[in-house]
């Protein structure tokens, strides 16, 4: 802070900065560090209080005395009237416990990557409903087993996405600066604590429940999620486009479909393991969808991936090519889904699956044609649209018969 820009306005010993100064000042250089800029923020209007008031009787006091140090007190003045603002409310108020709780919940919400959490929960619910053969199966036993699977899987989901953020802090500062670790809202220690607690809770629930399909689903997800992100020799598989896609496909398409279906079918209902036509369809369709998600998630992240040496398909082929590959893959999947739905012996299932997939395919095509591939915000928005299509598919899968 530069105090030599002060100029007296009158004989009243009130001093203000010259209009060319943009910061708040004090009378003496030695006390400049003790004076803080006072701001009153109201919407987009920022009022700066440019000055301080000094007792004139202490102006020439001995600077080495404690009295001098006590007497040079800076009091904010109104920039327009020059009067002290003693009645103004405190500028920096301590946060209330409620606001701190809300801030913590919001940070955890962002850290958990909510679109993946929703996708995991909907996938487990959808595939679990494939094991329901009649209305009597919708019993408290079914809902208890379903809840155990969903909660354990969500903790594992937070572990996987949180671990990825811990090893991608510098990349996320470029690609996703709003995430808690990249923005500084979370310290590394906090991130590590959340990740460890999530893994312990997930395995703890799986062990207490005693379902081997559930436990193996959690264990395989843990291994693949760790190998995908952790920066150790022969690991950090996200660096390799094909291997990264296989990891996502294995978790999203195979484990979620098969393992959680078997959890309900064999552990909850105590029935023999079978691979029904709807289950095979769900696994095949979600394999296509998982490949699309694996490819598309790198399109808005091309800048950070290129800087830090992540050789994704987007870095290699370019955004436009990968974008249209994703669109065509999904359109092919929807076409196959309509054929499968059309061969169903159940009339209502035939109508719902054919019409439903036709609507989703049309929505995808229309949205893709109007997208501005030069806008990162538009691409990110389209990626979220892909996840909405993902959720919609899980609404249709239980209706395939």
Q: The domain 112-117+124-268 is classified under which CATH number: 1.10.10.10, 3.40.50.2300, 3.20.20.80, 1.10.357.140?
A: 1.10.357.140
**Span of 87-91, 124-128, 182-186, 221-225 with lowest mean pLDDT:** 87-91
Residue carrying structure tokens 């609404």: 395
Predicted local confidence at residue 66, as pLDDT: 43
Predicted local confidence at residue 315, as pLDDT: 81
Which residues lie below 8 Å from residue 114, measured CB to CB, with a gap of 6+? none
Confidence of residue 94 (pLDDT cuts 50, 70, 90): low
Predicted local confidence at residue 374, as pLDDT: 84
Q: What are the domain boundaries of the chain?
A: 3-71, 112-117+124-268, 275-401
pLDDT in tens, 343-379: 888 889 889 999 999 999 999 999 999 888 888 889 9
Structure tokens at 291: 């490949």
Predicted local confidence at residue 36, as pLDDT: 41
% of the chain at pLDDT higher than 70? 77
Confidence of residue 89 (pLDDT cuts 50, 70, 90): very low
Identify the residue with better confidence: 172 or 42. 172
**Which long-range CB contacts under 8 A does 277-280 form with residues at least 24 apart?**
277/400, 278/130, 278/397, 278/398, 278/400, 278/401, 279/127, 279/130
**What's the Cα-to-Cα distance from 274 to each of 258, 264, 279, 280, rounded to whole Å?**
10, 12, 9, 10
Residue 79 has pLDDT above 70, yes or no: no
3-state secondary structure (DSSP) of residue 29:
helix
Q: What mean pLDDT, rounded, does the chain reach?
A: 80
Predicted local confidence at residue 81, as pLDDT: 45
Which residues lie below 8 Å from residue 323, measured CB to CB, with a gap of 6+? 296, 299, 368, 371, 373, 379
Distance separating alpha carbons of residues 14 and 197, to the nearest angstrom: 58
CA 221 to chain centroid, in Å, comes to 19
- pTM, two decimals, is 0.70
Residue 42 has pLDDT above 80, yes or no: no
């Amino acid at each position: 802070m530069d105090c030599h820009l002060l100029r007296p306005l009158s004989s009243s010993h009130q001093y203000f900065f010259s209009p060319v100064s943009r910061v708040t000042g004090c009378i003496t250089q030695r006390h400049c560090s003790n004076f803080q800029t006072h701001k009153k923020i109201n919407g987009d209007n920022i009022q700066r209080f440019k000055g301080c008031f000094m007792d004139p009787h202490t102006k020439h006091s001995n600077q080495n005395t404690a009295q001098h140090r006590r007497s040079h007190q800076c009091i904010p003045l109104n920039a327009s009237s020059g009067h002290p603002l003693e009645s103004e409310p405190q500028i920096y108020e301590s946060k209330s416990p409620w606001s701190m709780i809300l801030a913590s919940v919001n940070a955890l919400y962002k850290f958990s990557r909510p679109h993946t959490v929703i996708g995991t929960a909907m996938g487990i619910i959808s595939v679990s409903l494939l094991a329901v053969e009649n209305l009597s199966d919708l019993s408290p036993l079914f809902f208890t087993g379903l809840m155990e699977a969903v909660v354990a899987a969500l903790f594992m989901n937070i572990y996987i996405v949180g671990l990825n953020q811990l090893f991608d802090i510098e990349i996320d500062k470029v690609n996703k600066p709003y995430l808690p670790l990249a923005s500084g809202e979370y310290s590394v220690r906090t991130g590590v604590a959340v990740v460890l607690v999530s893994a312990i809770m997930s395995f703890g629930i799986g062990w207490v429940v005693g379902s081997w399909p559930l436990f193996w689903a959690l264990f395989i997800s843990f291994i693949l999620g760790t190998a995908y992100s952790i920066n150790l020799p022969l690991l950090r598989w996200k660096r390799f486009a094909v291997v990264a896609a296989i990891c996502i496909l294995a978790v999203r398409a195979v484990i979620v479909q098969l393992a959680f279906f078997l959890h309900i079918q064999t552990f909850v209902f105590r029935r023999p393991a079978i691979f029904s036509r709807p289950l095979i369809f769900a696994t095949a369709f979600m394999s296509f969808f998982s490949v699309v998600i694996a490819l598309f998630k790198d399109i808005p992240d091309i800048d950070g991936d290129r800087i830090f040496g992540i050789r994704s398909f987007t870095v290699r082929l370019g955004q436009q090519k990968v974008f249209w590959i994703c669109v065509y893959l999904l359109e092919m999947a929807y076409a196959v889904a309509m054929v499968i739905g059309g061969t169903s012996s159940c009339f209502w299932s035939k109508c719902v699956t054919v019409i439903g997939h036709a609507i989703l395919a049309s929505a995808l095509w229309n949205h893709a044609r109007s997208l501005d591939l030069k806008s990162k915000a538009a691409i990110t928005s389209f990626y979220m649209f892909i996840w909405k299509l993902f959720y919609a598919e899980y609404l249709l899968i239980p209706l395939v018969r």
